[in-house]
Amino acid sequence: MTDTPENKEIDDETTDDAEESAVTTDADEATATKTDESDESDAPDADDDASTAAATVDDADTEASDDVGDEDDIETPAAAPAPAASTSSGEHVVYAENLTKQYGDFTALDSLNLSLEKGQILGFIGPNGAGKTTTIKILVGLARPTSGKASIAGHDCTRDVKQIKRLVGYMPDVFGAYDNMRVHEYLDFFGAAFKIPQRDRAKRIGEVMDITGTAYMHDLYVEALSHGMKQRVGIARTLLHDPTVLILDEPANGLDPAARIDMRQILLRLAEMGKTLIVTSHILPELSRICDVVAIITNGKLRAFGTLDQIMQQVRRLRMMQVTLSDREHVLQLSNYLKANLSADSEVTPSETEAEVRFSTVADDKRLTELLTGAIRDGLSIAQFREVETDLEDAFLEVTGLREKVTERADGRAVN
Amino acid sequence: MKNPIIQRELIGTLRQPRALAIQVVFVLAMVVLVMLVWPDSATVNLGGRQARQLFGVFAYGLLVGLMLLAPALPATSIVNERRRGTLILLLTSPLTPASILFGKVAGAIGFVLTLMVLSLPAAAACFVMGGIGLSQLAITYGVLGVVALQYVMIALYISSMTKSTDGALRMTYGVILLLSILVLVPYYMLQGKDLSQLGLPMPEAIEAAVRWLASLSPLPAVMQLADHGSVGTRGLESTGDPVTRYLITAAITIVACTFGLIKRLQPTVTDRPRDKGVVTDERSAGQRAARRFMYVWFFDPNKRTGTIANYENPVMMKEFRTRTFGRAHWMARLIAGCLVVSLGLMFVALQGTMWISTDYMAGILVVFQMGLIILVTPALSAALISSELESGGWTLLQATPLSAGVIMRGKLLSVAWTLTILLLATLPGYAILWMIDEGRSQRVVNGLITLALTALFSMIVGAMCSSIFRKTAVATTAAYLLLVGLCVVTLLPWMGEGSLFDQQVVERILMVNPLAAALNAVRMPGMESYQLTPANWWFLGGGTIVASAVLWFRTWQLTKPQ
């Protein structure tokens, strides 16, 4: 995955204000950079993060392979750890243990475990219908788990619904606009609904508008806002009652590149303020730039949970190589050649459409050189032979087992 | 079918379970109507009086059915396309505005025609009784077909103008009420009077204008076809052929709507900037002064609003702010309109015997207020929950600390306040009636009780529909069908009293009709022979309790965690 300074930057002013230096990971690791609230004793430290992250992966690794492998034959690099083995040793702000939700015979959520600390940003990833919204609804108090428990800042999400509503700021994937209402009226209504006293409300609305850069929308009609503007107002709405945890469902969905960068900066700023964020998104490069922790869920099961480093390390156990051919008729021949010469844990994925073959392998550089030499000797028209940088998208496809499906679909379309 | 829109509109409509339900209910209603008035004895009046009366009831029933059902689908047709974003797809396709319009009209009218065809067996039953000819039957169906087309065109035009489905339905039913009933009021009041003796200028011109105004309504035409003469029961004069006059006004309406719709379906209709949302506070000094004068400042819709006070229910305030008619300037206009009408009626009442008797005036006042309740209440209450469900606002409300009770209280109060203010604005007329004849005071009180109970009943029924249906358009239509059905359909047996029904049966049926009960309470001529209160109050009270229970249960279902 590529990492550029602009991807990681946050508002200069904000950075300057932060007393403690930013937590910066190695550029190649390509994780997000964010400043931590320096005066918070329980704010996660960079070193702590790294060490506990490694521990989590080690702990979870063995179980993960067994659990998930049985389920769908998906190779899982890092499985959901039990909350006790969380990403850090600090106090859990968000905590879920064996969270299960069933609708009749359908299991929407299956024994989900996760935990988050103050100021962390969780990237919650999964295909449509994976169970993300169900998890969120349980955390917000809009759904009850069939079994298991979830809590926010020590308050049970099922029993203490009133407290949960004050602790959580929830932005659903649907904005929820009202006709004939200006932005300040809209925020005033939700401020009143959260029982913010009238004398403080105007000031608070001004604050959240400043944080989210929506001050200039004060008198605009909500229904006339563009999608990007609505998303910002949506975040302003969730911030009104100063919640501890923000749960944002697809905040970057449908945004143009500039609005996406703005959104990223807003989210990083919120984490700086000590808010814990749960962000779902299908735009994985976006998430990888801001998230401390990633959870990958499919079919109601948590397939991977850990810091971005942990997940990348797991995916990177196997090197991903890409061979591009100048003659697409050689694709099958190369694929067979590689299958014959690679170890059993390697996976070869040919794509006739793109005239390329991808394969994962533990082979070192020397072995790869031998393979390349052998292929050229066999008369295969190799135009390019390179190692593919692994990013969150790759990790997602690997963990969910969707890579093969995507390739098959692409080939199927080409054939058709 | 070459026009793909016809296929999508008509086949799409017919595929819906709702369409089948409407057809079944419609046929059942027709069957029940004919069965109720079918003579018990084997003998039939050779003069055909009984058959004509049966046919009259059937024709009115069909007209009411068309008034309620014909606009329901087209009223949401174009506005739904716009909200879903499919209108732009149609406008950028090779289809011309005329072919889009033709497809929409054919789709809507096709469904109405299936209903009319389904009513044919009931019409045949009337025909076999004798007394009516095949040509009379054919002309009646022809006129009703024109009624359906006229209402479909009006509904489509309104649908092309409005921004929301429920708004389109409200406006459509309002316009249809205006065109079918309210345009008859001046005709009813002036019919048989010598306008020159009343001191009015250009009496001939006024008379012609009033007659043509009344011709906008299909009711006189249907009355003519059912051999019921003209509007009113006082041997009033009726000049000209109401059927021809109605067909002319309907044709004008249809042509006007067609041109309007073709203009509104041009691709350039989307070429509009977004509302900039400029508030009065940020306009120039001259503009600010002009708006303050125009809106008396307080009613300026573009002045910056203050924050919601701690003691105010935020949901109620939100409802006032987001609802078009909840905004102060619209409320002021409505109240002013009601006051003007009420004062006008007072003036007429003060003229006493010269124009019209106070009994009639009280009846007109009741009809006006009842019309206001039936038209306004579902428009306010049938969107309370369904609009939140549609927009995603319900989830946001659930995520706030507001309890279900606070949410519902705020929503219902927003309707109750609006209704109260509107009804209070129409009260001066009653005060005058009271002053004219103190012996009338009990009647006025009884009428007011009936109106208040009707308002409460309508509000809760609307809210109940809103909690049952997830789409505002469906909830609004259901509420209108229920209330208009209750007030109008149950009046049909009253028209056949004497020959088809005896008085006891009519009285029992009218006991559920709030309009009849209110008219009976003020002793409107034609209604004074029944005793409908307090039985009607018990019915309305009981109905309110049942609807409240359903509303409470549905709200509980919707607010509890899944």
Last residue of a domain, one of A298, A314, A330: A314
Strand partners, B95: none
**How far apart are the C-alpha atoms of B176 and B533, rounded to whole Å?**
30
Residue A44 scores a pLDDT above 60: no
Q: Are residues B88 and B225 in the same domain?
A: yes
**How far apart are the C-alpha atoms of B107 and B3, rounded to whole Å?**
10
Q: How much is the pLDDT for B56?
A: 79
What are A219-236's pLDDT values in tens digits?
888 888 888 888 889 989
Q: Are residues B531 and B456 in the same domain?
A: yes
Q: Are residues B350 and B248 in the same domain?
A: no
**How far apart are the C-alpha atoms of B416 and B410, rounded to whole Å?**
10
What are A273-332's pLDDT values in tens digits?
888 999 988 777 777 778 888 888 888 888 888 887 777 776 666 777 889 998 888 899
**Least-confidence region, from A36-40, A375-379, B11-15:** A36-40
**Least-confidence region, from A31-40, A147-156, A228-237:** A31-40
> Are B36 and B119 spatial neighbours (Cβ–Cβ below 8 Å)?
no
**How far apart are the C-alpha atoms of A287 and A260, rounded to whole Å?**
11
Alpha-carbon torsion, ordered A123, A126, A128, A133, to 10 deg: -50
Last residue of a domain, one of A279, A314, A349: A314
**How far apart are the C-alpha atoms of B362 and B444, rounded to whole Å?**
9
What residues contact A320, with CB distance under 8 A and at least 6 apart? A358, A359, A360, A387, A388, A390, A394
Q: Are residues A220 and A364 in the same domain?
A: no
Nearest partner of B187 among B217, B218, B214, B219, judged by Cα? B214
Mean pLDDT confidence for A252-276: 83
Q: How much is the pLDDT for A402?
A: 63
Decide if A412 is inside a domain.
no
Strand, helix or coil for residue B218: coil
Nearest partner of A367 among A308, A321, A409, A330, judged by Cα? A321
DSSP element (H, E) containing B250 = helix B242-264
Decide if A253 is inside a domain.
yes
Decide if B350 is inside a domain.
yes
Question: B35 versus A5: which is more confidently predicted?
Answer: B35
DSSP-derived secondary structure for B259-318: HHHHHHTSGGGG--PPP----GGGS-HHHHHHHHHHHTTTT-TTSPP-PPPTTS-HHHHH
Q: Of B310, B315, B322, which is closest to A197 when you measure between CB atoms?
A: B310
Nearest partner of A32 among A204, A284, A244, A229, judged by Cα? A284
> Which residue do the tokens 């730039």 mark?
A289
Tell me the pairing of strands A276-280 and A245-249: parallel
Q: Are residues B371 and B479 in the same domain?
A: yes
Decide if B199 is inside a domain.
no
Q: Are residues A288 and A355 in the same domain?
A: no
Q: What are phi and psi of B476, to 5 degrees?
A: -65, -45
Task: Quote the minimal CA–CA distance from A140 to chain B in Å.
Answer: 7
Name the amino acid, one letter, at A272: E
Q: How much is the pLDDT for B251?
A: 94
Instruction: Give the chain A residue nearest B398 (alpha carbons).
Output: A142
> Are B64 and B166 spatial neighbours (Cβ–Cβ below 8 Å)?
no
C-alpha dist (Å) from residue B545 to A316, A350, B374, B508, B542 = 67, 69, 19, 21, 5
Q: How much is the pLDDT for B272?
A: 66
> Which residue do the tokens 């009496």 mark?
B203
Q: What are phi and psi of A342, to 5 degrees?
A: -100, 160
**How far apart are the C-alpha atoms of A105 and A255, rounded to whole Å?**
37
Decide if A110 is inside a domain.
yes
Decide if B207 is inside a domain.
no
Strand, helix or coil for residue A268: helix
Strand, helix or coil for residue A2: coil
Decide if A202 is inside a domain.
yes
Q: Which of A101, A159, A166, A189 to mutate to test the interface with B (most CBs of B within 10 A)?
A: A189
Q: Are residues B172 and B321 in the same domain?
A: no
| B279 contact residues in A (CB cutoff 8 A) | 182, 219
Q: Are residues B258 and B390 in the same domain?
A: no
Q: What are phi and psi of B10, to 5 degrees?
A: -75, -50
Reported ipTM: the value is 0.72
**How far apart are the C-alpha atoms of A92 and A114, rounded to whole Å?**
10
Decide if A396 is inside a domain.
no
DSSP-derived secondary structure for B126-172: HHHTSSS-HHHHHHHHHHHHHHHHHHHHHHHHHHHH-SSHHHHHHHH
Q: How much is the pLDDT for B326?
A: 66
Inter-chain touch B307–A192, beta carbons under 8 Å: yes
Task: Quote the minimal CA–CA distance from A111 to chain B in Å.
Answer: 18
DSSP-derived secondary structure for B406-418: HHHHHHHHHHHHH
Instruction: Give the chain A residue nearest B310 (alpha carbons).
Output: A198
**How far apart are the C-alpha atoms of A352 and A415, rounded to whole Å?**
9
Q: Are residues A108 and A138 in the same domain?
A: yes
**How far apart are the C-alpha atoms of B24 and B31, rounded to whole Å?**
10
Task: Quote the minimal CA–CA distance from B340 to chain A in Å.
Answer: 28
C-alpha dist (Å) from residue A24 to A278, A290, A392, B256 = 21, 12, 18, 70
* DSSP label of A33: -
Name the amino acid, one letter, at B331: M
Name the amino acid, one letter, at B87: L
Q: Are residues B245 and B335 in the same domain?
A: no
**How far apart are the C-alpha atoms of A247 and A237, rounded to whole Å?**
12
Question: A355 versus B327: which is more confidently predicted?
Answer: A355
Q: Are residues A275 and A349 in the same domain?
A: no
> Are A11 and A31 spatial neighbours (Cβ–Cβ below 8 Å)?
no
Q: Of A189, A197, A220, which is closest to B314 when you measure between CB atoms?
A: A189
Q: Of A137, A170, A189, which is closest to B318 when you measure between CB atoms?
A: A189
**Residues in chain B with pLDDT < 50?**
231-237, 353
Domain that holds residue B469: 308-559
Q: Are residues B258 and B313 in the same domain?
A: no
Q: Which of A103, A219, A231 to mutate to test the interface with B (most CBs of B within 10 A)?
A: A219
Inter-chain touch B399–A162, beta carbons under 8 Å: no
Q: Are residues A307 and A330 in the same domain?
A: no
Decide if B200 is inside a domain.
no
- Number of A–B residue contacts, CB under 8 Å: 110
Decide if A415 is inside a domain.
no
Q: Of A137, A181, A198, which is closest to B322 when you measure between CB atoms?
A: A181
Total domain count, chain A: 2
* DSSP label of B182: I
Which CATH number goes with the domain that contains A332?
A: 3.30.70.100
| B561 contact residues in A (CB cutoff 8 A) | 137, 141-144, 158, 161
Handedness of CA B80, B466, B68, B214 (dihedral sign): negative
Q: Are residues B160 and B52 in the same domain?
A: yes
Cis peptide before B534 (omega within 30 of 0): yes
CA angle A212, A213, A216 (to 5 degrees): 135
Decide if B114 is inside a domain.
yes
Average pLDDT across chain A, whole number: 74
* DSSP label of A244: S
**How far apart are the C-alpha atoms of A244 and A277, rounded to whole Å?**
9
Inter-chain touch A179–B314, beta carbons under 8 Å: no
Instruction: Give the chain A residue nearest B399 (alpha carbons).
Output: A165
**How far apart are the C-alpha atoms of B547 and A88, rounded to whole Å?**
54
**CB burial of residue B464 (10 Å; 0-12, 13-18, 19+):** buried
| A170 contact residues in B (CB cutoff 8 A) | 396, 399
Q: Are residues B262 and B313 in the same domain?
A: no
Total domain count, chain B: 2
User: How many helices, marked H, and strands, marked E, lie in chain B?
Assistant: 28, 0
Confidence band (pLDDT; 50, 70, 90) for A20?
A: very low
Domain that holds residue A340: 317-389
Decide if B260 is inside a domain.
yes
Q: Are residues A162 and A292 in the same domain?
A: yes
Which CATH number goes with the domain that contains A92?
A: 3.40.50.300
Q: Are residues B254 and B402 in the same domain?
A: no
Q: Are residues B323 and B450 in the same domain?
A: yes
Q: How much is the pLDDT for B505?
A: 81
Decide if A405 is inside a domain.
no
Mean pLDDT confidence for A100-129: 87
Confidence band (pLDDT; 50, 70, 90) for A411?
A: low
Handedness of CA B148, B150, B155, B157 (dihedral sign): positive
Q: What are phi and psi of A254, to 5 degrees?
A: 75, 10
Q: How much is the pLDDT for B438?
A: 66
- Give me A212's structure tokens: 């989210």
Decide if B377 is inside a domain.
yes
Q: Are residues A381 and A236 in the same domain?
A: no
Decide if A217 is inside a domain.
yes
How many CA atoms does the CB half-sphere of A412 hold within 13 Å?
A: 6
Q: Are residues A199 and A151 in the same domain?
A: yes
- CA B110 remoteness from chain centre: 23
What residues contact A330, with CB distance under 8 A and at least 6 apart? A380, A381
Q: Are residues A332 and A247 in the same domain?
A: no
Q: Where are the alpha helices (DSSP H) in A227-256?
A: 227-239
Last residue of a domain, one of A314, A329, A349: A314
Nearest partner of B177 among B374, B4, B437, judged by Cα? B374
Inter-chain touch A193–B322, beta carbons under 8 Å: no
Inter-chain touch B391–A177, beta carbons under 8 Å: yes
Q: How much is the pLDDT for B197?
A: 66
What are A168-209's pLDDT values in tens digits?
999 888 888 787 788 998 999 999 888 889 888 999 999 999
C-alpha dist (Å) from residue B18 to A126, B77, B470 = 37, 15, 14
Name the amino acid, one letter, at B116: M
Q: How much is the pLDDT for A416?
A: 40
